């Protein structure tokens, strides 16, 4: 298929390694959760109210293909939490999607929304499909069928999907149209990350990357380092990775390596980011043979990008990229997690021991869902904000959240990830206790 993989939220480097499949992302998420529970000394009843996903939906979707065949796809939607508001989180299209992964991603969404204190719970969806093998109309049929099947379980006050790996604004427009036609009224707030023409928010396209950069500015301040002249390696050149590269280059940072599913590309003098983005546009959303542009050398093994001696490493692709195995070789001073779950608990242990400053995913990449919240608000009020307002509000949310997590990290003497879970779990527990049990 053509028009979709280009703009996938964290997409772009899926397939660089299949490691993310063999480790359980949900086990990792549980380990992270349990670390924070232990520090907080929560009681079993408090944990019971917030830990497990509230609803797991497994769908079988028959879709008519262009040649007349009917192909059957497996899809998921997991609503992890509705304690602080409607479930919220993206939908991922990937051949390796598993229920385990979607459950982990849904839990991370709950934590993420709580860390940035927006009034949502957490959810995630996924379809087991390699979207590159579908035509545009097949992709539309599949997307509509998925949303129609979910119609009773989603809604502006129930569960609000958004883009994730390999889904984009066009897919969100199909989702919104399917839902609105189904219920015979205009319901744009059912989904965020829509195109501007049909109720999207200004700034949503760059929001994840912008949030990463706001976090990096706060981190640089804290660590007394300068973003200007800092060296950066970015794994994944989808929406998050490519926009982070652009925004950091604008700040004077030197992007020395980038990668996607087609390989890794390195230039110690600094990659011309605009050239890479233009190249990607011309090559169906991928960096295919970018080395032939003479703007970078091809790396022998793209996984080596993670081990380069850079100031800042930005994993912006999939889970489980930095593990106990390669973490000893990671040399970055700061790891900014634009992807969800890129570091395993084993990797954390190694990186924490050597003093790497990790900005954890549930803080670092929360800019996307934060502007999703702004979009949902704009849809419900029917009044649309200028870009400057979106960016200004996003900056405020990211800076406040960064400092809430940093303060918790100092107060409890724990790494930033545990601190982020502590901030989130405190907010969740407070809400769960105030609400109590309905029946």
365 belongs to the binding site for ligand GLU (CB under 6 A): yes
**Residue number, 257 or 336, with CB nearest to ligand GLU:** 336
**Residue number, 80 or 254, with CB nearest to ligand GLU:** 80
Instruction: Indicate the DSSP class of residue 75.
Output: E
**Residue number, 89 or 241, with CB nearest to ligand GLU:** 89
**Residue number, 243 or 267, with CB nearest to ligand GLU:** 243
CB neighbourhood size of 411 (10 A)? 10
162 belongs to the binding site for ligand GLU (CB under 6 A): yes
Over the Cα atoms of the chain, what is R_g? 20
Q: d(Cα 87, Cα 297) in Å, to the nearest integer?
A: 43
What are the respective helix, strand and coil percentages of the chain, to the nearest 5?
Answer: 50, 15, 35
126 belongs to the binding site for ligand GLU (CB under 6 A): no
CB of 240 vs ligand GLU, minimal distance in Å: 9
CB of 212 vs ligand GLU, minimal distance in Å: 11
122 belongs to the binding site for ligand GLU (CB under 6 A): no
Q: d(Cα 246, Cα 372) in Å, to the nearest integer?
A: 21
202 belongs to the binding site for ligand GLU (CB under 6 A): no
Q: 98, 168, 170, 340: which one contacts ligand GLU (CB under 6 A)?
A: 340
Catalytic position from the list 51, 103, 112, 124: 124
**Residue number, 167 or 344, with CB nearest to ligand GLU:** 167
164 belongs to the binding site for ligand GLU (CB under 6 A): yes
| Residues numbered 60-119 forming contacts with ligand GLU, rule: CB under 6 A | 88-90
Which one of the spans 71-79, 137-145, 159-167, 392-400 is the region binding ligand GLU (CB under 6 A)? 159-167
For residue 119, how far is the Cα from the chain centroid? 18
**Residue number, 113 or 310, with CB nearest to ligand GLU:** 113
Is the CA virtual torsion 6, 276, 192, 20 positive or negative? positive
Kindly state the helix (H) or strand (E) to which residue 260 belongs, with its residue range.
Answer: strand 254-260
Question: Which residue is nearest to ligand GLU, using beta carbons?
Answer: 90
Q: Write out the two tokens for 370.
A: 């934060």
Query: Interhelix angle for 25-40 vs 99-115, to 10°?
Result: 40
CB of 177 vs ligand GLU, minimal distance in Å: 19
| Triad 246, 247, 251: Cα angle to 5° | 115
Q: d(Cα 100, Cα 429) in Å, to the nearest integer?
A: 24
Total interface residues for ligand GLU by CB under 6 A = 14
CB of 172 vs ligand GLU, minimal distance in Å: 10
369 belongs to the binding site for ligand GLU (CB under 6 A): yes
367 belongs to the binding site for ligand GLU (CB under 6 A): no
Kindly state the helix (H) or strand (E) to which residue 64 belongs, with its residue range.
Answer: strand 55-64
372 belongs to the binding site for ligand GLU (CB under 6 A): yes
Q: d(Cα 378, Cα 129) in Å, to the nearest integer?
A: 32
CB of 42 vs ligand GLU, minimal distance in Å: 25
Q: Is there a contact between 154 and 179 (Cβ–Cβ < 8 Å)?
A: yes
CB of 207 vs ligand GLU, minimal distance in Å: 8
CB of 162 vs ligand GLU, minimal distance in Å: 3
Which one of the spans 63-71, 148-156, 157-165, 402-410 is the region binding ligand GLU (CB under 6 A)? 157-165
Q: d(Cα 313, Cα 330) in Å, to the nearest integer?
A: 9
Q: d(Cα 253, Cα 227) in Å, to the nearest integer?
A: 6
CB neighbourhood size of 344 (10 A)? 26
Can you spell out the DSSP letters for 10-41?
Answer: S-S-TTS-SHHHHS-HHHHHHHHHHHHHHHHT
**Residue number, 163 or 199, with CB nearest to ligand GLU:** 163
Q: 13, 28, 81, 192: which one contacts ligand GLU (CB under 6 A)?
A: 192
Residues contacting 269, CB < 8 A, separation 6+: 254
Q: Is there a contact between 212 and 9 (Cβ–Cβ < 8 Å)?
A: no
Q: d(Cα 30, Cα 25) in Å, to the nearest integer?
A: 9
CB of 391 vs ligand GLU, minimal distance in Å: 16
Closest alpha carbon to 318 in 349, 343, 351:
343
144 belongs to the binding site for ligand GLU (CB under 6 A): no
**Residue number, 102 or 414, with CB nearest to ligand GLU:** 102
Q: Parallel, antiparallel, or unpaired: how do β-strands 231-235 and 312-315 relate?
A: parallel
**Residue number, 266 or 365, with CB nearest to ligand GLU:** 365
CB of 242 vs ligand GLU, minimal distance in Å: 15
Examine the residue annotation and report whether 228 is marked as an active-site residue of this protein.
Answer: no
Q: 86, 302, 368, 415: which one contacts ligand GLU (CB under 6 A)?
A: 368
| Residues numbered 9-28 forming contacts with ligand GLU, rule: CB under 6 A | 9
Would you please indicate which residues are annotated as catalytic (active-site) residues? 124
Residues near ligand GLU (CB under 6 A) are 9, 88-90, 162-164, 192-193, 340, 365, 368-369, 372
């Amino acid at each position: 298929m053509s028009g979709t993989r280009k703009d996938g939220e964290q997409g772009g480097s899926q397939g660089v390694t299949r490691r993310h499949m063999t480790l359980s992302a949900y086990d990792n998420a549980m380990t992270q959760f349990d670390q924070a529970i232990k520090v907080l000394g929560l009681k079993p009843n408090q944990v019971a109210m917030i830990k497990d996903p509230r609803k797991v939906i497994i769908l079988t979707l028959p879709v008519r293909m262009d040649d007349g065949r009917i192909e059957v796809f497996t899809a998921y939607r997991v609503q992890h939490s509705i304690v602080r508001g409607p479930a919220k989180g993206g939908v991922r299209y990937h051949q390796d999607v598993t229920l385990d992964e979607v459950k982990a991603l849904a839990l991370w969404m709950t934590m993420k929304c709580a860390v940035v204190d927006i009034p949502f719970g957490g959810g995630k969806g996924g379809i087991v499909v390699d979207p590159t093998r579908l035509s545009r109309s097949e992709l539309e049929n599949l997307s509509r069928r998925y949303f129609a099947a979910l119609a009773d379980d989603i809604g502006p006050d129930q569960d609000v999907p958004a883009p994730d790996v390999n889904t984009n604004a066009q897919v969100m427009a199909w989702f919104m149209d399917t839902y609105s036609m189904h219920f015979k009224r205009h319901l744009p707030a059912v989904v965020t990350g829509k195109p501007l023409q049909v109720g999207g928010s200004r700034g949503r396209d760059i929001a994840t990357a912008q949030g990463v950069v706001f976090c990096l500015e706060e981190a640089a301040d804290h660590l007394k380092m300068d973003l200007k002249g800092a060296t950066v390696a970015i794994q994944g050149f989808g929406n998050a990775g490519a926009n982070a590269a652009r925004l950091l280059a604008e700040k004077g940072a030197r992007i020395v390596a980038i990668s996607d599913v087609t390989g890794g590309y390195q230039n110690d003098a600094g990659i011309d980011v605009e050239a890479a983005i233009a190249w990607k546009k011309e090559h169906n959303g991928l960096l295919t043979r970018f080395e032939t542009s003479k703007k970078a050398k091809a790396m022998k093994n793209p996984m080596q990008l993670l081990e380069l001696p850079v100031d800042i490493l930005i994993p912006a692709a999939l889970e489980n990229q930095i593990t106990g195995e390669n973490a000893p070789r990671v040399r970055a001073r700061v790891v900014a997690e634009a992807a969800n779950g890129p570091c395993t608990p084993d990797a954390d242990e190694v990186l924490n021991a050597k003093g790497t400053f990790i900005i954890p995913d549930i803080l670092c990449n929360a800019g996307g869902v934060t502007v999703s919240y702004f979009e949902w608000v704009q849809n419900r009020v029917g009044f649309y904000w200028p870009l400057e307002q979106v960016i200004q509000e996003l900056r405020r949310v990211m800076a406040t959240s960064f400092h809430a997590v940093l303060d918790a990290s100092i107060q409890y003497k724990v790494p930033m990830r545990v601190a982020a879970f502590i901030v989130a779990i405190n907010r969740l527990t407070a809400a769960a206790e105030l609400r109590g049990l309905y029946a």
